[in-house]
């Protein structure tokens, strides 16, 4: 099992970063290899990924929600992984988004990618694309009451 920890500072309030992150259906907009994420209900999501020509589907469960602070999950089918995303305000308009993930790669390709640091670089890239994505939204979402579940 590998643990990956990456952070990025985004120029939005913590509530805005949290609310956007919990809109799981938007993940394909900034996560490399994520084809789709469908919300099954308030706790479960279904993922379709395509990485290195290998398509995988799995379900994940949200195991913890602390509104505007953190979201934790674990897979309940498919590749074994779990993680937490935290949102730490640095000031009123800047948030440090930190991803900590535990991943147990399956198969030769995934194990090789893990050993070569590909998974670390992918998480790093995903967080930086999230930064571009959310900062590029301008004031979309301003004036709305934050929704801790992202609905």
Picking from 71, 86, 96, the residue whose alpha carbon sits closest to that of residue 13 is 96
Q: Give the pLDDT of residue 148.
A: 46
147 in a structural domain: no
pLDDT surpassing 60 at residue 92: yes
Q: Residue 53: which domain range?
A: 2-135
Count of structural domains within the chain: 1
Burial of 127 (0-12, 13-18, 19+ CB in 10 A): buried
Q: For 5-20, what is the mean pLDDT?
A: 96
Angle at 109 between CA 103 and CA 111, to 5 degrees: 40
- Tokens representing 145 are 């009451």
49 in a structural domain: yes
Q: Give the pLDDT of residue 121.
A: 81
110 in a structural domain: yes
126 in a structural domain: yes
Measured between alpha carbons, how far is 45 from 83 in angstroms, rounded to an integer? 14
- DSSP conformational letter for 15: H
Q: Give the pLDDT of residue 151.
A: 37
pLDDT band at 135 (very low <50, low <70, confident <90, very high): very high
Measured between alpha carbons, how far is 69 from 50 in angstroms, rounded to an integer? 29
145 in a structural domain: no
148 in a structural domain: no
- The string over 29-55, giving b where at least 16 C-beta atoms fall within 10 Å of a residue's C-beta and e elsewhere, is ebbeebeebebeeeeebbbebebeeee
pLDDT in tens, 55-80: 889 999 999 999 999 999 999 987 78
- Tokens representing 87 are 């949102």
Lowest average pLDDT, out of 77-81, 83-87, 119-123, 132-136, goes to 119-123
pLDDT in tens, 30-57: 999 899 999 999 899 999 988 777 788 9
26 in a structural domain: yes
Rg (CA), the chain: 15
Q: Give the pLDDT of residue 145.
A: 47
CATH number of 20's domain: 3.30.530.20
């Amino acid at each position: 099992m590998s643990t990956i920890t990456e952070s990025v500072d985004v120029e939005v309030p913590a509530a805005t970063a949290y609310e956007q992150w919990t809109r799981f259906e938007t993940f394909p907009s900034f996560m490399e290899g994520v084809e789709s994420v469908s919300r099954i209900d308030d706790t479960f999501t279904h993922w379709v990924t395509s990485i290195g020509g290998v398509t995988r589907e799995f379900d994940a469960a949200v195991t913890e929600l602390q509104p505007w602070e953190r979201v934790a999950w674990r897979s309940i089918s498919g590749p074994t992984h779990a993680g937490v995303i935290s949102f730490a305000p640095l000031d009123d308009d800047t948030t440090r988004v930190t991803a900590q993930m535990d991943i147990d790669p399956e198969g030769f390709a995934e194990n090789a990618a893990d050993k070569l640091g590909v998974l670390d670089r992918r998480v790093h890239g995903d967080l930086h694309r999230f930064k571009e994505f959310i900062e590029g939204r301008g004031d979309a979402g301003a004036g709305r009451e934050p929704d801790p579940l992202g609905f």
